[in-house]
């Protein structure tokens, strides 16, 4: 019984962590790009901009700009870990971040 309880608890924690992780990419884009781009001010405008193609990082101009280091302009480029978060978020279908 204790084992099952511990395992269930582990599953819940893992799921919550994965959920939080999966939207980090969106948070990063909003935090780092909105200063200059109105379309990056929130999730809805980001998705409406067409710069993100859910499930297809390679077709997403936002990913092209970040992965090539072209953007954010004038600021530090995304680290490889941050790039991975953005890539994974788009590849996962660009889910809406939990509030
Ligand atoms: C300091 C201001 C600044 C920041 C921060 C910035 N950009 Fe830009 N961005 C620009 C300027 C200026 C242009 C237009 C000039 C050009 O295309 O060379 C541009 C152009 C673009 C374009 C081409 C289409 C368009 O909207 O004009 C994309 C896509 C883009 N940026 C994505 C991003 C992303 C993604 C981020 C965050 C990682 C970001 N930018 C952060 C200044 C910025």
What does the pLDDT read at residue 31?
96
Full domain range(s) for residue 74: 23-91
Asked whether 72 lines ligand 1 (CB < 6 A), one says yes
- Identify whether 60 is part of a domain: yes
What does the pLDDT read at residue 1?
73
What does the pLDDT read at residue 27?
95
- Could you tell me the distance, in angstroms and rounded to a whole number, from the CA of residue 3 to the centre of ligand 1? 51
Asked whether 52 lines ligand 1 (CB < 6 A), one says no
Asked whether 83 lines ligand 1 (CB < 6 A), one says no
When divided into structural domains, the chain yields a total of 1
What does the pLDDT read at residue 18?
65
What does the pLDDT read at residue 59?
98
Please state, as a whole number, how many other Cβ atoms lie within 10 Å of the Cβ of residue 87. 17
What does the pLDDT read at residue 20?
60
Average pLDDT per block of 10 residues along the chain, 99 residues long: 74 65 88 97 97 98 97 94 97 91
Q: Given the structure tokens 């302009």, which residue do they identify?
A: 73
- Identify whether 6 is part of a domain: no
- Identify whether 98 is part of a domain: no
Residues with Cβ within 8 Å of 36's Cβ and at least 6 positions away in sequence, in order, are 72, 73
- Identify whether 12 is part of a domain: no
- Identify whether 11 is part of a domain: no
- Identify whether 8 is part of a domain: no
Asked whether 69 lines ligand 1 (CB < 6 A), one says no
What would the two tokens of residue 79 be? 């680290």
- Identify whether 78 is part of a domain: yes
């Amino acid at each position: 019984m204790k084992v099952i309880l511990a395992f269930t608890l582990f599953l819940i924690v893992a799921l919550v962590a994965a959920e939080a992780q999966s939207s980090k990419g969106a948070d990063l884009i909003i935090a780092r790009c909105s200063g200059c781009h109105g379309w990056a001010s929130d999730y809805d405008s980001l998705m409406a901009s067409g710069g993100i193609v859910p499930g297809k990082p390679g077709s997403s101009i936002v990913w092209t700009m970040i992965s090539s280091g072209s953007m954010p302009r004038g600021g530090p480029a995304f680290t490889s870990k941050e790039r991975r978060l953005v890539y994974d978020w788009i590849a996962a279908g660009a889910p809406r971040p939990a509030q």
